[in-house]
């Protein structure tokens, strides 16, 4: 497994959301919460370089179940389910949560199918199912998957933690190349679980397995500077093409302190997908967590959009990733 590179900037981001209630403003909206004991806050050790902060990805090798082309070899956990299993999964994948979440096809559909999915980084992207719906997630270490907040908690003070959460890395039609894993802990933040703010709609899943050692995982980073114009990929599991992975590529159209906007075509079910590109020093590296389609006023009304990884988000992802 490759070593993890750590790089940083001294830039700071504002953490007070405009328009938040006084009670919300007095509370740290990025305060982490979970459905189990919280891990200690991670102490992030960094080196200064290149003007951004991030963790590089880890790539699987032949020793982890793949040859040099990424094909499955002995030791990988390919699973072919029964027709009943596939039908149940199809129903979940075709029933994502929410009407605004997950995305919109903007004009002509630019999505392309990712096939096969047993090559990196496709194998580090997972179908996430739970009682009543489905989402997408992406690995950040051997046993941690990042996703949207509404994929782990329904949001707001009357919301609930998702149940029967299961993760299928690189799911592809009737095949689960790496089997599936159940969740043992779910994470999000007060800004989502108490306030239901889409600007704080992010979370993570701690798994009962270490399949990320086989699939590899993504890097992720934060920066305070504009992200406009960077060509990014958004890849995940849309409701209209159940159990298969699809990707759209295009430039960031607008970037705000807590969200990024783009015309990459997405659909419900892709909530939680990585917004990523091949970044020097970080590899396949995510800047945001996809969550929403078109709604409201500009730039929301003309773009699909994601929760941006800012400094507070980054620190929480590190803490959840490092949780035992």
Query: Secondary structure of 122-160 in the HEC alphabet?
Result: HHHEEEEEECCEEEEEEEEECCEEEECHHHCECCCCCCC
CA atoms 103, 105, 111, 117: torsion sign: positive
Cα-flanking dihedrals φ and ψ of residue 192, to 5°? Answer: -100, -55
Residue 318 CA to residue 47 CA, distance in Å, equals 15
Could you tell me whether strands 219-222 and 283-292 are parallel, antiparallel, or unpaired per DSSP bridges?
parallel
Q: Which residues pair with residue 241 across a beta bridge? A: none
Cα-flanking dihedrals φ and ψ of residue 195, to 5°? Answer: -105, -15
Tell me which residues are annotated as active site: 150, 271
- The string over 212-251, giving b where at least 16 C-beta atoms fall within 10 Å of a residue's C-beta and e elsewhere, is bbbbbbbbbbbbbeebeeeebbbbbbbbebbbbbbbbbbe
CA atoms 69, 71, 77, 78: torsion sign: positive
* Measured torsion, CA atoms of residues 27, 28, 30, 33, in degrees rounded to the nearest 10: -60
DSSP 8-state assignment for residue 37: P
29 within 8 A of 20, measured Cβ to Cβ: yes
Residue 12 CA to residue 210 CA, distance in Å, equals 34
């Amino acid at each position: 497994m490759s070593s993890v590179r750590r790089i940083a900037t001294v830039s700071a981001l504002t953490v007070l959301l405009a328009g938040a209630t006084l009670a919300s403003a007095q509370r740290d909206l990025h305060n982490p919460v979970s459905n189990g004991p919280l891990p200690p806050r991670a102490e992030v050790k960094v080196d200064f370089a290149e003007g951004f902060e991030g963790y590089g990805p880890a790539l699987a090798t032949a020793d982890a179940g793949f040859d040099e082309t990424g094909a499955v070899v002995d030791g990988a956990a390919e699973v072919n389910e029964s027709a009943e299993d596939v039908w149940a999964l199809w129903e979940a994948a075709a029933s994502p949560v929410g009407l605004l979440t997950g995305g919109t096809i903007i004009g002509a559909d630019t999505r392309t199918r990712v096939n096969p999915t047993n090559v990196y980084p496709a194998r580090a992207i997972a179908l996430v199912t739970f009682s009543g719906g489905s989402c997408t997630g992406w690995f950040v270490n051997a046993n941690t998957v990042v996703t949207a907040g509404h994929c782990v908690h329904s949001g707001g003070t009357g919301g609930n933690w998702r149940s029967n959460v299961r993760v299928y890395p690189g799911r592809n039609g009737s095949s689960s190349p790496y089997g599936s894993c159940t969740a043992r802990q779910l994470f999000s933040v007060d800004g989502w679980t108490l306030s239901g703010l889409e600007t704080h709609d992010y979370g993570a899943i701690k798994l009962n397995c270490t399949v990320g050692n086989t699939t590899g995982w993504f890097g992720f980073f934060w920066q305070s500077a504009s992200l406009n114009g960077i060509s990014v990929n958004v890849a995940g599991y849309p409701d209209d093409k159940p159990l298969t992975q699809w990707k759209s590529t295009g430039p960031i159209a607008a970037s705000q302190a807590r969200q990024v906007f783009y015309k990459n075509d997405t659909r419900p079910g892709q909530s939680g997908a990585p917004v990523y590109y091949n970044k020097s020093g970080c590899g396949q590296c995510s800047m945001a967590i996809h969550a929403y389609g078109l709604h409201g006023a500009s730039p929301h009304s003309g773009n699909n959009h994601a929760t941006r990884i800012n400094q507070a988000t980054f620190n929480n992802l590190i803490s959840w990733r490092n949780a035992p």
